[in-house]
Amino acid sequence: MSGLPVLSILILLPAAGAVAVPFLRSRDTVRWFTLLVLLADFLLAVWILAVFDPSAAAMQFRETRIWVPALNMGYRLGIDGISVWFVLLTTLLGWICVLASWRAIAERVKEFMTCLLAIQAMMVGVFCALDLVLFYVLWEVMLVPMYLIIGIWGGGSRVYAAFKFFLYTLAGSLLFLVGLLALYFAGGRTFDMLALMAAEYPFRLQVWVFLAFLVAFAVKVPMVPVHTWLPDAHVQAPTAGSIILAGVLLKMGAYGFLRFSLPMLPDASQNLAPLMITLSAAAIVYGGLLALAQSDIKKLIAYSSVSHMGFVTLGLFTFEVNSMSGAVIQMFNHGITTGALFLFVGLIYERTHSREIAAYGGMIKAVPLLGVLFAAFLLASMAVPGTNGFIGEILVLAGTFGVSGWAGTAGVLGALIGAAYLLGLYRQVLLGPVKVPEGSVMQDLRRRELACAAPLLLFVFWFGLYPKPFLTILEPSLDHLMTQLAPAGAAQ
């Protein structure tokens, strides 16, 4: 591979964009500039995926620079078969967010686009970071633009939602910080994640650190019972904020489990797996039941996220290769599908200014293209065979049943509840006689909006029908993760 610091470019491109935006003049210039920067970033991510060596389990595109030598802190980057997908997802959703906010954000466009660019740099950085402190810094600083996105451009009670989001996540991350420092001293005084993964830790320490990490990651995922910030944040956030939240930020919690808890704390992970499985099963069922009771579209999708992310954590903690790859696929899919659902809710809201499910009906007749595409994403979210959602859930469930029958049953139950609320939404909004809130301007998808939806739709069916390329790249890295977990399993 070339000697270019590709990952740095991937991170610094949007960061440089964020610095440049305040100096631009007109709003449209700002919009086009942001779009082009993020598109370039996406194309770079696609190129990375194209030249990515699928046979290697090791980190690729590695970069190492000195940062704080006295503390053995470094600017260390690298991606493997897992993170490469999240880099792709992040950069894909990035430019879609710009398009989704093209007209929806009319006030303080410059600041908004600065936030979008900044958060993209940070999110990509999180997935590329191979240094604990670098990871932590990016992970936490991400709160700032997200706080602003929700708090400035959000809905009616945006300030409350932004505060809640910030403080919940901050409290979690700070415990993560304590855990990370404990690992530093136990793992030979380095923040190099690969070195820390190779080190072994005493069991007691593992459990404490695992619990500290659990709080941080569980808030982000979010797992029951620390999920209550999510509906507020989602409902109040502007469309782009919701897409980023659901599409990428929630993945970071699960990514944290995958990157830290499992490889670094294998014994604690094994021993606390029953707890994790219980919490996941609870999230699947409880999140689903909550979604069933919602009358607000955004809230419904927000709660469905809790349920769907439950499948991810369930899959991760069964320690079975099928369900783990299912979990990673589910993470990626959830980003695509839920991102798309929030996009469509946003598009509908722009036309009608209502999120009440009961206010709608017959959208397929009123706006056929929008209706059909919305239907496709709803079905994908429901995990109908042929869509991406199916692959993830079936793999997770297949693995889970081998480990815990009742958790598998809870998963199936959750999938059924999911079908119930998503079909309910489908029937009410899309079918039946045409019914729209007063004052709506029902216009079918514009070209700009179609451009947002098309790539997401492509992924829905690509992974639904032919997930093999995805699995091929994923497998070596997951196998490697299994070996990191294995000695602990053998020791029991």
Binding site for other proteins (CB under 8 A): 22, 66-71, 111, 133, 136-138, 140-141, 143-144, 147-148, 151-152, 158-159, 162-163, 166-167, 170-171, 174-175, 177-178, 181-182, 184-185, 208, 212
Backbone φ and ψ for 401, nearest 5 degrees, come out as -60, -30
Minimum CB–partner distance for residue 253 and other proteins (Å): 17
The answer to whether residues 220 and 169 touch, using CB atoms and an 8 Å cutoff, is yes
Residue 149 or 306: the one with the smaller Cβ distance to other proteins is: 149
Residue 16 or 56: the one with the smaller Cβ distance to other proteins is: 16
DSSP string, 6-62: HHHHHHHHHHHHHHHGGG--SHHHHHHHHHHHHHHHHHHHHHHHHH--TT--S-EEE
Q: CA gyration radius for the chain?
A: 21
Q: Which residues contact 225 (CB under 8 A, 6 or more apart)?
A: none
Minimum CB–partner distance for residue 272 and other proteins (Å): 19
Minimum CB–partner distance for residue 219 and other proteins (Å): 11
Q: Which residues contact 324 (CB under 8 A, 6 or more apart)?
A: 315, 316, 318, 399, 478, 481, 482
Query: What token pair was written down for 430?
Result: 């899309």
Residue 71 or 451: the one with the smaller Cβ distance to other proteins is: 71
| Backbone conformation region of residue 436, classed left if phi is above 0, alpha if psi is from -120 to 50, else beta | beta
Minimum CB–partner distance for residue 397 and other proteins (Å): 37
The residue with tokens 């079936």 is: 394
Distances (CA, A) of 24 to 92, 135, 149, 323, 473: 24, 31, 20, 48, 40
Residue 49 or 175: the one with the smaller Cβ distance to other proteins is: 175
Q: Which residues contact 83 (CB under 8 A, 6 or more apart)?
A: 127, 128, 255, 259
Minimum CB–partner distance for residue 178 and other proteins (Å): 5
Minimum CB–partner distance for residue 9 and other proteins (Å): 19
Residue 42 or 229: the one with the smaller Cβ distance to other proteins is: 229
Minimum CB–partner distance for residue 70 and other proteins (Å): 6
Q: How many CB atoms lie under 10 A from the CB of residue 218?
A: 22
The answer to whether residues 375 and 397 touch, using CB atoms and an 8 Å cutoff, is no
Instruction: Return the closest-CA partner of residue 307 out of 395, 388, 231, 387.
Output: 231
Residue 187 or 464: the one with the smaller Cβ distance to other proteins is: 187
Minimum CB–partner distance for residue 66 and other proteins (Å): 8
DSSP state of 296: B
Residue 73 or 379: the one with the smaller Cβ distance to other proteins is: 73
Minimum CB–partner distance for residue 271 and other proteins (Å): 20
Residue 97 or 152: the one with the smaller Cβ distance to other proteins is: 152
* Gap between the Cα atoms of 396 and 400, Å rounded: 6
Residue 181 or 398: the one with the smaller Cβ distance to other proteins is: 181
The answer to whether residues 349 and 441 touch, using CB atoms and an 8 Å cutoff, is no
